[in-house]
Amino acid sequence: MIPMKTLIPHFLQKFKRNYYHTRTLLIPLTFFIILLGVSFTTAFPSLTTHTTMDSFMISLDGTQTNGTIKPYAEINCGPAPIYYIENSVDLTNQYQDIGINFIRTHDFFGPTDVSAIFPNWDANPYDEESYNFTSSDEMIAPIINAGCKVFYRLG
């Protein structure tokens, strides 16, 4: 396993090197893909026609059991109040009641973004002082305190 101390500087160097190059290619590529999609659906309308079923029935017999349902409850954000939503509330008890067991730090809009954790792009990525995990830690602590596992997304 690669230690986080080594992995993050490598990621940041690669990100800095490729950011502007990727951005300049992404916009024309996006327009090309949209144009290609429009051309394709116009040229081959029969291939893009979708059929739907009118109705279907699912029957469940609740008197018969053959095991337990595996936990599947993973979610983005929470359980702490969401800092960018006015009057947001702590949902720790609700998360525990419904069995949330794994929380991704995706779409936190700031605390786990590279720009918050590594705020100075000119800083040395191998120097621990270049990093600031304060906002990230404030979001991770409630997840752990709720008894959930963390899927840390550095975005």
* Shared domain check, 137 and 75: yes
12 in a structural domain = no
> Do 149 and 80 fall within a single domain?
yes
79/135 same-domain check? yes
DSSP 70: P
Confidence of residue 31 (pLDDT cuts 50, 70, 90): low
Q: Are 152 and 77 part of one and the same domain?
A: yes
What is the pTM (predicted TM-score) of this model?
A: 0.53
**Are residues 75 and 117 both part of a single domain?**
yes
Give residue-wise pLDDT tens across range 41-60: 555 555 545 556 677 788 87
Report the domain count for the chain: 2
Within a domain: 57 = no
Domain that holds residue 42: 17-47
